[in-house]
Structure 1
């Protein structure tokens, strides 16, 4: 068995680790920065910048895993994949600042990442199901692709509404496309279920 030595540096804990360093504190923390004041916004921006290690303006999969781990929440590969699909609203494979801020300002941000086992299985199955209809692998289903999805949903009695009404119900952003996240949200709200 390997011995683990934790070193405590009071200066590091007083101001937080420098960019690119890790805070190895064994204490699980979930700081709350919800609020609309300038201080909360600058703290949120600082947290985003700290974990946007490559300075790309977005947090990559690797950077997000590090953020969660540094704050005491280790994500397995499968959890990381599913969580990124839920947080990455535009489906570009990274977490933008606007996507990050929505998640970070939620006091239950880490609870969002820890789904009950059945919900996790639903998301996993739904991902495969969704990809079957996302012919161009864009992370969203356009109106043409949606007709095929709709026919399958209707065939399995998952919707009784018209194609237009179902599209309108699932497309919460009203951009005429259904993102993976919109589809998952619809399923998790109990309005449909993947087969």
Structure 2
């Protein structure tokens, strides 16, 4: 699940502030033989759901930005944070992008389904890549962290947000007798009273 997009300056600025301080490298950029700045891949991990609910799909979007001046190659994204409490229903937790050119980005989408409710810490994904086609050095970094979030129990969520069609139907059925029976009694009494009046007038 990948698509290329143009870089947005505002998004890059925000991501740079969050990630540059935590970016780790397996090699010193000064050892590169090129005079250009090496490839620098920033990763933004974001939960797309407004509510995270037990047994319901959760969409996670990864945006990878190359803010360097060299093409990033063999870019590998791994997210081991989803353990046995989650079921992967779409996408993969590991994906490889052969190339990310300078000043461009790619995205990856993962869909998981939590099997338990409660608080859960959504941690960072890991990314490794090379700067250029022939560079032996491997760079390593981490994505932003969505942080701790609450996975609501399905019953709790359903109670608050479900349209409750069955409940309203049952309520409507239960409301009919208290309304219909008094009306029928009134109508029956009215008919008898009118019949008595007509009988008296005919005499």
Range class of TM-score, shorter chain: under 0.3
- Taking CA–CA contacts closer than 8 Å with sequence separation of 6 or more, which of the two structures ends up with the larger relative contact order? 2
TM-score by length of 1: 0.22
TM-score by length of 2: 0.22
Larger radius of gyration: 2
Name the structure with the higher strand share.
2
